[in-house]
Chains A and B, each alone.
Chain A
Amino acid sequence: MSEVICPYCGTPNLPDAKECKYCHKPLSTRQDGEMTPPGSDNLDWLANLRGADRDEPWQGESAEENQGSRTPGGPEEDDVPEWLERIRRRSMEDRALQEMQTPPLEDRPDEQSLSSPDKEGDLPDWLKISEEPQPPFPSPEESEPLGEEIDHAGQTAPTGTGETPFPADLGEFDLGMEETSPSGEAPDWLEQLKAEKSQAEFDTGELDLPLDLEGKETPVDSGTGMSEGEEIDFEAAPEFLEQAGIEDFTTEFPDWIEESTPEGGDSDFLEKPDKSLPDFSATEDIGMKEDIGFPPVEQLPAEAQPETTRQTEIDRAAAPPRRDADIEPARLPGWLEAIKPIESVAPARFSAEADNQTESRGPLAGFQGIIPGSYPVTKYPKSAVPALKMQVTEKQRVYANLLENLISEEAKPLQRKVEKAAAPSELLRFFVGIALVGLLAFMLFSGIQLGSLPGLYSPDTVAFFNTIQQFSQVQNPPARILVAVDYEPALAGEMQTAARTPLRQMLASGGQLIMVSTVPAGPALGEQLVADAATDLPVFQPDLQVVNLGYLVGGSTSLASLAAQPSIAAPALTSGSPAWDLPLLQGIQSVADFDGLLLMTDNAETARAWIEQVQPSLAGKPLLIISSAQSAPIILPYYQSNQVQGMLAGLSGSAAYEQLAQIGASKTSSLWGAYQAGILFVLGAILLGGLVYGIRALFHNFSRKRA
C-alpha cells in the first residue's frame, strides 16, 4: 500500500506518517498498512470471542504472538489463549454472582454442577474440552450439528448469565464471512481448519450430519448408530454430576422460566396459551428468540452452551456403541418439548378432532385431516392497518369536491332538457286560421279602410322616388335600367305590389329594362311583373323596352362575372337568341354603361351580394332596391352608407311611394285596409293571449298557495 488513508478525514498520508497531515489525528497502522481508528471497538465483542483470530491480517496483533495461542495441543496453562482466559474469567464472575442469588445447591443440580468445579479448583469436562484448540468459528459443516444439539437441549437457559456478550446474528455473520468473500472462497486459515476438523471427525467417526428441520431423514450419528435427538436422555443425570456425587437430579425448569410460570412449575402450562409467556407456537423462529432474550443457539459459543448439551456430547463421544434395543426411548421434558425449535417454527399442532375433520368446502372438499381453511384466519388476526387520513383544510376540501364534480360531469353524457310543451289546441288553431283568413278576405272584398295611407315618408323611400323620377325624365335616349328580379315566388305578391308602380312609371316614360336574375324562377317572375306593370300603358313597346337575359348561374360568382363582362355572363336571351346584338344593348360593355340598377329582392343576403359584387362597378350610377318588409332593416344600413341610393320596402313603402307620386286609387290602396286589419288581428292575438295566460298563471299561483 503506497499511502495511508486517515480514518477520520479520509486524507491520504505517507505510509510512515504517525498522524494525519490534515486533521493531525494519530494514525494507527496495521501490518498491512490499513487503518483502524483508535476508538473503533465495534468489533470488540467479536474480537473477544475470536481471540485466536486476532492474529489474522485484519487484526492488530503480530503473527508471532498469535502463533502460540493457535498452536494445537498446547496444554500448558501459560499457553492458554487470551480469549479463553477472558471467557473463563467472565464465567467465574457470572457464577460468583449467581451463587449469591441462587437457592441451596441441592435444589439446583444445574447450578451445583456449575459451581462444583470452581470449588474444587478444577475444570469440568465440558470446559476441558473447550480448552482444546478449536477454530473460533467452526465451518458450516461443524457448526450446524452443534447448533442443532443446542437447539434441542441447550435452550433451557443461557447458563444463568442473563445475557450473552455477542449479538444474536453471530452465526449468520460467520456464514456471511464465508459466503461474501471477495474471491468467493473462504480464507486460507478457515479452509485449513475446516479440512483438519473434517478429517479428524471423519477419522473418529464423529462427523455430525445436519438435522433437517423440514422433515428430511434425521441423520444418524456414526458413533452410536442412533439419531441425535433420540439418544439424548435428559432425565438422566450428567456424568459430571455423578462424578460430583450429586444423584438427586431432576429435570426442572430453570429459574428464569419458573419465575415466569404463573402456577409454579407446571410443565404443561406451555401447551396452554398464557399471557405471561410468549406464544412460542404462534411466533416465528426469530421472533421467539427475540422474545426469550437470547440469541439463536447455533450462534452460541462453546462456553455459553448449556451444560447438558455439552455433557451429552461428551458422553456420546465417550460411550461405547450401543444397540438399538438397549436404547431407552428418548423422552424430552415437557418444557423442553414446548420450546423445541421445530415447535416454534411450525404452528401449533391441531387437535385430533381437527385432524379427523373432513373439509366440506372449497377445492379440498372431501379430504380428511387437512388443515382447516378457517383456522389460520382465526388464529392470525388481521394486522392493524394504520388509518391514512389526510388532513385537509376546508378550502382544499372545497377545491377537491369541485375537481371531483368536474371530472364526474365530464364523464356523464349531456342531458338534454326536455321542455314541457303545451299540447296544441286544434280548436284554437282552427279558429285562428279561419278568423284570419276571413278577416283579410272581408277587408279585401269590402274595401273598408281602417286608416289613411301613410303620411310620413322615410328618407330612403323619398330618395327612391326621386331617383325613379330622374330615370323617367331621361330622354333621347331613354334610360337603360338593369333590373334584377331576385325574389322567390312565395313573396311575389308583396314584391310585385311594391315594384309595380315604379316600373310602370319607367315604362311609361319610355325607359328600357334589361332583366337578369340569380333565382331560377326569376325570369318568369320578371316577365309577369313587366306584364303587370305595363298593363294599360298606351306607349309600351315590349320588344324595344324590355330584354330578359334570364338566369345567372353561380350566385355571387355570376354577379362578379356580370359586373366585369355582362356580355359574357349573360350572352343570350331566355329564348336562346343572342342578346347583345339587339339595339337595346348596343354600347353596353359593362354595368357602368347602364343608367342605373334596380334590384328587387326579398333576401338580405342577395342584396348584400349585389352590393358587394356589382355596386363598385357601377361607377356612381344609382343602385335602387325594392325589398320585402322583412329584409328592409338589413338593407337599410347600405342606404345610410350611400352604397344604395334609394329603397322601397314592402307594402308600406309602396303606399308611401304612391302617396309621393300622387297616384289615386291603386292596388296598393286596396290592400292597405287588409294589411292594417291583419296587423290589428296579430296585435289583438298577442295581447289576448298574454292576458289569458297571465290571468291563468295568477290563479294557478293563488290556488297553489291556498292549497
Chain B
Amino acid sequence: MRAPLSTAIAIAAGIVVLLGYFLPVPELKMIRSMLIDWAVIVAGIAGLIAIIHLVKVHIKKLSSEQNRDYYSLITLIAFFFTLAAGLLLSPSDQRFQQVVTSIQVPVEASLMGVLAISLTYASIRLFQRRKGWMPIIFAVSAVVFLILASGFLSIADQVPLVKTLMSALNMLPVAGARGILLGIALGSLTTGLRILLAADRPYSG
C-alpha cells in the first residue's frame, strides 16, 4: 500500500459519515457535518485553483511563440472584467447580473439553436450514413415520440384507445430510464464500498 495514512483517513471518514446517516447519535451527526463542511471548503479552494490554472493556461497560450492563440486574449479580458465587476458590484447587483442574462444566456441559447439545426440536418441524412435495421428503428421511434410530444394527438383525447395507447407509449422511456437509474445506483453503491474497503484509492495518487 503506497499511502496507508491516506487510506486510513479516507476509510475512517467514510465510515463516520455513513454511520451518521443510520445511527441517531448526536456526536456522529456533528462529526459528519464537520467533515462535510471541510469537504465544501476544500471544493471551494479547488475551484479557485482551477480558475488560477485556467488563467495560467491562457496566458501561456497567448505568450507562446508558436501557434499563438489570440482568442485567449479575449478570454482573459472577459475573465478579468467579470472578476472586477463582481468584486466591485457584488453578484446581487442588477448590472452585474446583466452580464449573465444579456451575454451568457443568448450565447449559450444560440449554441442550442445551432445544435437544433445540426440535428435536423443529421435526421435528413440518417439513412445515408447508416444502413440496416437500426436506422429504421431509430427513425420510427423518433417519429413516434415527436408526435406524442407535439400534442397533435390531443384532438383525439376523447377516443379511449388513443388515450390508452399514448399512456403506454409514454411508459416506454420511463422504463428505460428506470433501468438506467438502477444501474447508476448499483454503480454508486459499488464505488462507495470499494472506497470504504480501500480497493479504490484515488486519493493515493
* Interfacial residues, chain A to chain B (CB-CB below 8 A): 421-422, 428-429, 432-433, 436-437, 450-456, 458, 488-493, 521, 523-525, 527-528, 548, 550-551, 553-555, 557-558, 560-561, 564-565, 568-569, 573-576, 608, 629, 633-634, 636-637, 640, 652, 655, 672, 675-676, 678-683, 685-690, 693-694, 697
Contacts and interface: CB of A to CB of B under 8 A. Distances in A.
A525 B101 contact: yes
17 contacts: A437-B117, A489-B109, A524-B101, A553-B44, A557-B36, A561-B40, A568-B37, A573-B92, A575-B90, A608-B184, A637-B177, A682-B146, A683-B146, A685-B120, A686-B142, A693-B127, A693-B128
Contacts of B99: 524
Contacts, number: 185
Contacts of A629: 149
A689 B123 CA distance: 7
B126 A633 contact: no
Nearest to A492: B105
Interface of B: 29, 32-33, 36-37, 39-40, 43-44, 47, 90-92, 94, 96-97, 99-101, 104-105, 107-109, 111-113, 116-117, 119-121, 123-129, 131, 139, 142-143, 146-147, 149-155, 157, 163, 166, 170, 173-174, 176-178, 180-181, 184
Given A521-B100, A687-B143, A456 B108 contact: no
Contacts of A527: 92, 94, 97
Contacts of A493: 109
A565 B33 contact: yes
Nearest to B174: A636
Given A456-B163, A525-B101, A574-B92, A422 B129 contact: yes
A686 B129 contact: no
B121 A432 contact: yes
A489 B100 CA distance: 8
A428 B121 CA distance: 8
A428 B124 contact: yes
A422 B97 CA distance: 45
B139 A608 contact: no
B91 to A, nearest CB: 4
B90 A574 contact: yes
A655 B151 contact: yes
B100 A524 contact: yes
A418 B116 CA distance: 27
Given A637-B178, A679-B146, A689 B125 contact: yes
Contacts of B108: 488-490, 492
Contacts of A422: 125, 128-129
Given A490-B105, A553-B40, A690-B126, 17 more contacts: A451-B150, A455-B155, A456-B154, A489-B105, A490-B112, A525-B101, A528-B100, A561-B33, A564-B36, A568-B37, A573-B92, A637-B178, A675-B150, A683-B147, A690-B139, A693-B128, A694-B127
B187 to A, nearest CB: 12
Contacts of A421: 129
Nearest to B158: A455
B177 A689 contact: no
A694 B126 CA distance: 10
A451 B43 contact: no
Contact of A634 (B40, B43, B154, B181): B181
Contact of B47 (A553, A687, A689): A553
A652 B151 contact: yes
A580 to B, nearest CB: 16
B125 A686 contact: no
Contact of B151 (A451, A678, A688): A451
B180 A454 contact: no
Contacts of A689: 123-128
B181 to A, nearest CB: 6
A493 B176 CA distance: 27
Most buried by B among A551, A675, A690: A690
Contacts of A573: 92
B123 A682 contact: yes
B123 A686 contact: yes
A679 B117 CA distance: 12
Nearest to B105: A489
B101 A451 contact: no
A548 B92 contact: yes
B40 A683 contact: no
Contacts of A672: 151
Contacts of B123: 682, 685-686, 689
Contacts of B166: 456
10 A-B pairs with the lowest CB-CB distances in the bound complex, closest first = A490-B108, A689-B124, A554-B43, A524-B100, A574-B92, A575-B92, A633-B173, A489-B105, A693-B127, A524-B97
A455 B111 CA distance: 32
Nearest to B119: A682
B145 to A, nearest CB: 10
A528 B97 CA distance: 8
A637 B151 contact: no
Nearest to A672: B151
A637 B163 CA distance: 21
Most buried by B among A450, A455, A675, A688: A455
B14 to A, nearest CB: 13
Contacts of A454: 151, 154
Contacts of B111: 490
B157 A456 contact: yes
A206 B135 CA distance: 112
Nearest to A557: B39
Contacts of B40: 553-554, 557-558, 561, 569
Contacts of A574: 90-92
Contacts of A688: 124
B80 to A, nearest CB: 17
A558 B43 contact: yes
Contacts of A569: 40
Most buried by B among A452, A565, A634: A634
Contacts of B184: 608
A525 B109 CA distance: 13
B39 to A, nearest CB: 5
A433 to B, nearest CB: 4
